[in-house]
Amino acid sequence: MPQSFTQVFLHNYKFDAFLCIFARAMGGKRLKTGAGKIGGGPPRRCRSGKWTQAGFGGITRFAFPFLAGYRAMTQDTTAPDMPPLPMLDKARANLRAACDRLNIHPDVFEELKWPRETLSASLLIRMDDGSRRAFKAWRCRYNDRRGPTKGGVRFHPNVSLDEVETLAFWMTFKCAVANLPFGGGKGGVCVDTKALSASELERLSRAYIEAFAPFVGPDRDILAPDMYTNGIVIAWMADEYSAITGAPLPNAITGKPLAFGGTVGRTDATARGGFFALRYLQGSLGLDPNKATVAIQGFGNVGYHCAKLLHADGYRIVALSDSRGAIHDPDGFDPLAVMEHKHKTGTLLGAPGHGQTREIGNDELLELECDVLVPAALERQITPENQARIKARVILEMANGPVSPAADVWLAEQGTVIIPDILANSGGVTVSHLEWVQNRSGFYWDASRVRDHLRNVMETETQAVWTLHNEMGLSMREAAYVHGLRRIAEAVEARGTQAYFDGA
């Protein structure tokens, strides 16, 4: 039995390779692809799950029961600790601190130390030019004590196992902070979507589901959008899941288009949730929406809707950015006009503002003089390297993990208020929960009911975190972890801890 993480990993890959050879020996065929055929060979619409397919996707499905069981075994908490995964280790420092604050039973920390299970796969797809390419992919179920795991799928060239597991860890806490009956999960594919054609992207999205279908399910692991997985990607995934399971409306995937069982209000839910949290705190933070200035990093789903909502509320959006660059105008931008320009030209560079607009570097945006900084793109954008140059009084973390743990401590000491990701961006998963509920009941809500529910959740939980922050003298992040951990610990302890066996 392998002992170290590296050994476990290598062992798993050898196991995959063995299955690959075994599958070929058993007669898995290499199938032609072309128009109407998607993925690296497998025939589509295969509902039986029988071993009739070649390619890694088929193998993963075939091998899944062995792999899942094997990985679960190798992640036994009685095994020696694994070598560090840098991001996850750092994220876990918040858990350790919250456990110490609450005097939580050691069994709880032990349970949350590692993901419950992580599956890796190689997605082999046919490219438009006829070649085949393999993309590394993962799906992690971190902890499911409060319910089925829930989390998005990220398509990005820098996605790694460490990132996926860390994002799943954060999802565990986010769902608890929002008081949802879910645990935390996450998935990712190492891919630059901009380098793929639409049909290649469709094949990849479907191949992801094919590889992980046995791992997911409405009562097991529920998928959602994340970076570079928009509504159409989610629709392909949901369609593929329907085909595999034979269920026409799979509620194992949320963020679906409306016509495909989606919910009203999901598109801007993450941004709206952050907006509700900020608006709830703005009085306490001394922010006057008619005077306050905002810089937003990332102009995708979350960044754009955040800009729109804040702008409509009176805030002045003085800077915006995307992966291609950033723009600054002290007199502010109308996000609708910027989006229109982006649609026309493919970039927000050159978009009109209300005054003297100039292009700036992405780094410069973070360091601008403004009241509220909204990172809505990637992790680790604010680190010890640039922390001293951050001038915003308030940071609304719409991205996951945009402030490194060291910078987080340093900024909190300087008096910067950071509304942490596990609270600020929990609006998305909150409305995803409503989609899951509506799919189950078959009764669909109107927009005002969804918004009222979201506002209620965001205000209730923001108030709880703010109260802990003040009463226990914690940073907002520490308070959010304490708040979430209390709920997770209750769910763990309800099933019994060592104390039951000690007769305590």
Binding residues for substrate: 150, 174, 432
Q: What whole-number distance in Å separates Cα of residue 307 and Cα of residue 317? A: 7
Closer to ligand NAD at the Cβ: 425 or 497? 425
Closer to ligand NAD at the Cβ: 111 or 379? 379
Residues 135 and 187 sit within 8 Å (Cβ to Cβ): no
From the CB of 420, what's the least distance to ligand NAD, in Å? 12
- Binding mask 188-227 toward ligand NAD (x if CB under 6 A, else -) reads -------------------------------------xxx
Q: What whole-number distance in Å separates Cα of residue 42 and Cα of residue 185? A: 27
Q: What is the DSSP string of 348-374?
A: STT---SS--EEE-HHHHHTSS-SEEE
- Residue numbers in the known binding site for NAD(+) are 270, 301
- Among 56, 64, 109, 228, the residue binding ligand NAD under the rule CB under 6 A is 228
From the CB of 451, what's the least distance to ligand NAD, in Å? 16
- Residue numbers in the known binding site are 150, 174, 270, 301, 432
Query: Could you tell me the strand order of the sheet in which 183-190 lies?
Result: 117-126, 132-143, 183-190, 149-156, 221-225
Site for ligand NAD in 326-365 (CB under 6 A): 362
Residues 115 and 92 sit within 8 Å (Cβ to Cβ): no
Number of residues that bind ligand NAD (CB under 6 A): 24
From the CB of 330, what's the least distance to ligand NAD, in Å? 20
Is residue 5 at the binding interface for ligand NAD, with CB under 6 A as the rule? no
From the CB of 367, what's the least distance to ligand NAD, in Å? 13
Q: What whole-number distance in Å separates Cα of residue 486 and Cα of residue 497? A: 15
Closer to ligand NAD at the Cβ: 104 or 382? 382
Site for ligand NAD in 244-283 (CB under 6 A): 270
From the CB of 365, what's the least distance to ligand NAD, in Å? 8
End-to-end alpha carbon distance in the chain: 35
- CB-based contacts of 398: which residues, under 8 Å, 6+ apart? 270, 271, 274, 298, 302, 303, 306, 374, 375, 376, 421, 424, 425
Q: Determine the interface stretch with ligand NAD among 66-74, 311-319, 382-390, 393-401 (rule: CB under 6 A).
A: 393-401
Nearest-10 Cα torsion for 300, 301, 302, 305: 110
Return the number of other C-beta atoms located less than 10 Å from residue 11's C-beta: 16
Q: What is the DSSP string of 36-77?
A: T--SSSPPTT--S--S---SHHHHHHHHHHHHHHHHHHHT-T
Site for ligand NAD in 411-450 (CB under 6 A): 425, 428
Residues 234 and 225 sit within 8 Å (Cβ to Cβ): yes
Residues acting as catalytic residues: 186
Q: Determine the interface stretch with ligand NAD among 81-89, 141-149, 397-405, 478-486 (rule: CB under 6 A).
A: 397-405
- Binding mask 21-60 toward ligand NAD (x if CB under 6 A, else -) reads ----------------------------------------
Query: Could you tell me the strand order of the sheet in which 372-375 lies?
Result: 358-360, 325-328, 316-322, 293-297, 372-375, 394-396, 417-419
Is residue 153 at the binding interface for ligand NAD, with CB under 6 A as the rule? no
Site for ligand NAD in 314-333 (CB under 6 A): 321-323
Site residues for ligand NAD per CB under 6 A: 225-228, 270, 297-303, 321-323, 362, 376-378, 398-400, 425, 428
